[in-house]
Amino acid sequence: MSEQIVNNNTDRTPCMSGTGVTKIFGAGANKTVAVDHVDFAFYPGELISIVGESGSGKTTLIKMLLGLTSVTDGDIFFMGNKRDIRTRKQKKEYWKGIQAIFQDPFSAYNIFNKIDTVLLDCINMRGGRKLPKEEKLRMITEACEFVNLKYAELTNKYPFELSGGQMQRLMIARIFLLRPKILLADEPTSMIDACSRATILDMLMKLREEEGMTIVFITHDLGLAYYVSDKLLIMEKGKIVEQGAADQVILNPQHRYTKQLLADVPKLTETWHLDDEAGPATFIRANPNA
């Protein structure tokens, strides 16, 4: 679990919160309640993980927080004020303070924009459009170095010419330039190898430390969530069924679904074998004391 736990949140203003936030797709017999009246509060510098199985509503919630999906009911507050992003201008201003890293780096970029344009757009978004060319080059080079990339090797290329790991790093370089107050990371390491995964996590932790950034992870990996997080939110069928400090939720779970998720995590100290009688691809945990 993260050692940089944010304390005394009761006397601080959340950087983002929500009351009764709901998303319904369709109507009548075809109605689907993707997010069902959830309440939450994220504080400056916190690292929060929203954990749940596929279909639990966590990605829909993140899209609502970003303003990419409309809210059917409830209110979202940003920096202490009720969010209002009805116009394009309001959305652009809002996105200066909240950004995301998505699960699939291959679909996160406009295929017609070169890497230079991707990074320059970040500088322009932060009000640096009139900066000297040399200063923009310095900022881009610094952002690339932060994620262990060399700008000289990226210039005039398209993102799809990079590997998946490099594209994930480029997304973090964007965040380095934008420096939002809140970063939403939707399964940001699920499509890359273990070594790159550790590197990406280290970079995000460094951003948090240096910028005081609030980071919200979306994940189905309960072990990872416990390791990095201050706070856990457990989602099932669109509802937040349990939330609290990571230690509290993992070591003293209260809800049936949280207990089920914990029981489904394989134990490294126990042996596993394939039971042919149980059916194909069914793994039975052996008794470690047998």
* CATH number (domain holding residue 125): 3.40.50.300
SS3 174: helix
> Model pTM?
0.82
Kindly tell me the burial class for residue 211, based on how many C-beta atoms sit within 10 Å of its own C-beta (0-12, 13-18, 19 or more). middle
Kindly tell me the burial class for residue 281, based on how many C-beta atoms sit within 10 Å of its own C-beta (0-12, 13-18, 19 or more). exposed
Asked if residue 107 belongs to a domain, the reply is yes
SS3 79: coil
Report the C-alpha gap between 158 and 117 in whole angstroms: 9
pLDDT of residue 157: 94
Asked if residue 277 belongs to a domain, the reply is no
β-partners of residue 235 are: 240
Asked if residue 235 belongs to a domain, the reply is yes
Work out the angle between the directed axes of helices 115-125 and 133-146 (0-180°, nearest 10). 110
Asked if residue 44 belongs to a domain, the reply is yes
Domain that holds residue 54: 9-249
**Structure tokens given for 194:** 């273990």
pLDDT of residue 264: 78
Asked if residue 256 belongs to a domain, the reply is no
Asked if residue 39 belongs to a domain, the reply is yes
Asked if residue 1 belongs to a domain, the reply is no
For the chain, 290 residues long, give each residue's pLDDT as a single digit of tens: 544 434 445 458 899 999 999 999 998 889 999 999 999 999 999 999 999 988 899 999 999 999 999 999 999 999 999 999 999 999 999 999 999 988 777 777 888 999 999 999 999 998 899 999 999 999 999 999 988 899 999 999 999 999 888 888 898 899 999 999 999 998 776 666 666 677 778 888 888 888 889 999 998 888 888 888 999 999 999 999 999 999 999 999 999 999 988 887 766 555 555 554 444 444 444 444 44
Cβ atoms of 177 and 123 within 8 Å: the answer is yes
Report the C-alpha gap between 241 and 89 in whole angstroms: 36
Tally of structural domains, the chain: 1
- Residues belonging to the chain: 290
Asked if residue 194 belongs to a domain, the reply is yes
